[in-house]
Structure 1
Amino acid sequence: MQQSNSQFIRWLTYLMFMMFAMTSDSVGEIIKEVKVAFEVTNAQASLMHSLPMLGIALSGLLLGFLADRLGRKTTIVIGLSVFGLACYSFFMANNFVFIVSLMTLSGIAVGIFKTGALALIGDISGSTKQHTATMNGAEAFFGVGAIIGPLIVAYLIHKGVPWQYLYIIAGGICTLLIVVAVWVKYPTYQPSAHNNGEKVTVRQSLALVKNPYALGFSVGAFLYVAAESAIYVWMPSYLVCDATSLKATYDCYSDGAARTLAIYSVTAFFILRAAGRFVGIWMMAHFNWALVLLLFSGAILVCFVGGLVGGKQVALYLFPLTGIFMSVIYPTFNSKGISCFPRHQHGSVAGVILFFTAAGAAAGPFIMGVVSDAMGGDAKYGFIVATGFASLLFAGLLFNYLRNPTQQRLQQIEASDYGTA
């Protein structure tokens, strides 16, 4: 009989995060093509990002309990199957409504398999510190996917191939992951054994929203993702020289290196974010996580303000640079939030945090698009909104560092679930 292999499962989880990122973080590049092809406004185009994020949000909140009720493996296979079906259906996508509908369906699927994967990380971790390190590893591979996806889209467009083939490629990877997920033996998990024999329900999952630990980290995730999505969704529109032109131009940058950076600014951001997450695995094992998040959120705020005050010529460097400072914030929010609860609730609380995460990713870019349209279409005004989100994030992390409200709770979970306090 096969023995459960934590290291193998860890890599499988990493690859799931990478596949998801290939599609979700390519949306900024795809939006530029769709706006021209279907003659849609900024607000309409932002639905390509906002509706899938809404799908993830509702799926995480209403279906996150499946990982605790059905088990991690079954939940992951169901989510991957729906995601693969949505990806292959892009082969027939030839109008704006159909494209947005498929993206929304893929978001619902992500909410299912991602909550299963997040719960699984707790099953294969030996301590809350290892949990945080593994979460940073998963998000590091998410960062790798975020680099690969936009590059594939750029290459396809350059070769005259429809960008929809990105989803066909993702569907192929998804099929492989389903086969592996069915084959591998997962750690033993008995859903009812940890809940007095009662089945986990959506009502129990929704009740977690009132918990101060779940709510605190969820609000932090909302603010962070709302600020982060401004970079990969609207930075390409902000950095173009003529916002009213149907074709992106970069003639306002004086030298070739600057123009190249403007063209590949999203890729540069994702490279820095991915590199920072690999470093974050080490950082979170050696430094005070609350202090690291405080300093990094402050650096993000400085970059946003500097990019707005200095204009495109300064934003060209400061906006992609935020990738380094954004790298460890979300995976640490996710890990510490989940680690505040016993393992048999990890799927449900992961769904709650995922709901707020996706809500931030949906609401942030949409609000920025609406504000930009109201101010004549200039993406600069959307970034003013994003700077507001970054300011609130910094204020919250300052409070977290000064008051340290989770210290006692994490110590209790360390002793009860991991036996390492």
Structure 2
Amino acid sequence: MASLRITIALASSYFVFAIMLNSVGTVILQAINSLDVSKTDASVLEGFKDLSIAIMSFLVASFIPRIGYKIAMLCALLLVSALCLLVPSIAEFWVLKALFAAIGCSFAVVKISVYSIIGQLSDNANKHSSLLNTIEGVFMLGVLSGYWIFALFIDANNPQSNEWLNVYYMLAAIVLVTTFTVLTAPIKSPELHNQKQSQVDAFLDMLKLTYQPLVLIFVVSAFLYVLIEQGVGTWLPTFNNQVLKLPVDVSIQLASLFAAALALGRLVAGQVLRFISWFKMLLTCLITMGLLILLVLPLTHDVDGSQVKNIFDVPFAAYMLPLVGFFMAPIYPLLNSVMLSSLEKHKHAAMTGLIVVFSALGGTTGSIITGFVFDKFSGQHAFYLTLLPIVLLLVSVSAFKKATLVLENGLTRQAIKE
């Protein structure tokens, strides 16, 4: 029962931050419409979100265990709820910048805490992967919910109105409910590995993790995965609109299927991993992704969806591309789980900090590369390019498996000697 309450607290925290983080596109659009902000100025919201995540993760990952995961999560949630309550009353663009900076910083704290707490609830890689995939699946459900929640407060007949900002009162209420679930969950304080260690030494220990071969291979794998996911996810609406010639509203609605596929893929993987090994799951997902891209992209040539009126009338190929997300979904949580399960629990917070930093770098790189190829060549070329990191990921995942076996054999020999 205690584990269930903790899991609900972790999942609800991830759910609410999924809504917040992935609302940035909608907020940019509404800031342009109702706050008289230029496109260039509005685009900085993405930077306020992503850079704050990376910087905060890098700075506080080694510090969070010292104050406790529960206290860290409560502080993060209360900060976001306070700013959500301020936004509608101030109704200025600067407060949205402050909000997304706070959301980014708070999510970094919550993600490090969640990943570390999952280590307390599982005793092997498959159980860790199963739970993490389930919670990451809930995250994607939050992404989907966010589109509908914001849509409830947007008046299509009066886009200049600031009434849409009232959505933040609802979000503040959701965050406060989540805060209560965390407050009442029996989350244990982490056991500090070295009570006398200074914060500077703890920070240096986090950096030293990258010198381990297993960690280095993992960092490369995580970077490549996020490069693929963000490259496809960020540019799928543009692909639907400019390549498939679908109307803008239908292009965006159709792109939401990618998030739905990611959510379903992670939830399904969370159950399947009870019966098959993580390595078989990874290989199956990567190979299937590559095959889908090779089969579907040729179908997108000469497609003209300009006469399409709703999402139910789109060409077959448009439905198939988002399905890549279903097979892509388990890879990131799986890699994270295996990596964290291979480390002592007192290193989980520091390792999660590295995960968040390199994920942010991979996401930014993937979006920039895909956008450049899309602009200079074509949407098909941009998406075919994802085959290269998929192949590289197959290589790095195989090396990752070998590295984990070496580590396990080393631990076994050590145990025998003792």
- Given the two structures, how large is their TM-score scaled by the length of structure 2? 0.81
1:57 lines up with 2:54 in the alignment: yes
Superposition pairs of residues 181-192 of structure 1, within 5 angstroms? 181-191=182-192
Name the residue aligned to 2:404: 406
Give the number of aligned pairs. 393
Render the CA deviation track for 1:69-115: whole Å, top value 9, x for unaligned: 22211222222223333433432575555534431331111101210
| Residues 339 and 413, structure 1, Cα contact 8 Å, conserved in 2 | no
Name which of structure 1's ranges 60-69 and 26-35 shifts more when overlaid on structure 2: 26-35
Partner of 2:2: 5
Tell me the equivalent position of 1:90. 87
1:24 match: 21
CA gap 1:304/1:361 in 2 versus in 1, 3 angstroms: same
Secondary structure of 2:403's counterpart equals coil
Aligned partner of 1:284 among 273, 278, 287: 273
- 8 A Cα contact 1:86 1:106, kept in partner: no
2:209 is matched with 208
Partner residue of 1:170?
Answer: 171
Equivalence for 2:308: none
1:333 Cα offset (Å): 1.5
1:274-305 Cα deviation digits (max 9, x unpaired): 11111101222222322322232233344445
Amino acid at match of 2:114: A
Cα deviation for residue 306 of structure 1 reads: 5.2
1:342 corresponds in structure 2 to: 344
Contact 1:72 1:120 in 2 (8 A): yes
DSSP-derived class of the 1:240 partner: helix
Q: Corresponding residue for 1:150?
A: 147
How far residue 332 of structure 1 moved from its aligned partner, in angstroms, is 0.8
The AA in structure 1 aligned to 2:194 is N
Q: Which residue of 2 aligns with 1:234?
A: 235
1:255 paired residue number? none
Rg (Cα) greater in structure: 2
Paired residue secondary structure (2:39)? coil
Say whether the 8 Å CA contact 1:54–1:359 is kept in structure 2. Answer: no
Q: CA deviation at 1:410?
A: 4.9
8 Å contact from structure 2 (residues 74, 183) kept in 1 = yes
1:68·1:346 contact (CA, 8 Å) conserved in 2?
no
In the alignment, which residue of structure 2 is the partner of 1:298? 287
| Residue-by-residue CA offset, 1:321-367 (whole Å, 9 max, x unaligned) | 12211220111121112112100111111111111112223343345
* TM-score, normalisation: structure 1: 0.80
Who is 2:261 aligned against? Answer: 272
Unaligned runs of 5+ in 2: 304-314
Cα distance in 2, alignment partners of residues 211 and 326 from structure 1? 27
Structure 2 contact 371–382 (Cα < 8 Å) conserved: no
- Percent identical across equivalent pairs? 23
- Tell whether 2:67 aligns with 1:38: no
Contact residue 19 and residue 145 of structure 2 kept, 8 A = yes
> Which stretches of structure 1, 4 residues or longer, exceed 6 Å deviation after superposition?
411-417
| TM-aligned CA deviation for residue 210 of structure 1 | 2.7
State the distance in 1 between where 2:94 and 2:372 align.
19
In angstroms, what is the RMSD of aligned CA positions? 3.4
Q: Relative to structure 1, is the Cα distance of residues 33 and 189 closer, same or farther in structure 2, using a 3 angstrom cutoff?
A: closer
For residues 92 and 278 of structure 1, the distance between their equivalents in structure 2, rounded to whole angstroms, comes to 38
Q: Which runs of 5+ in 1 are unaligned?
A: 244-248, 253-258
2:327 matched residue in structure 1: 325
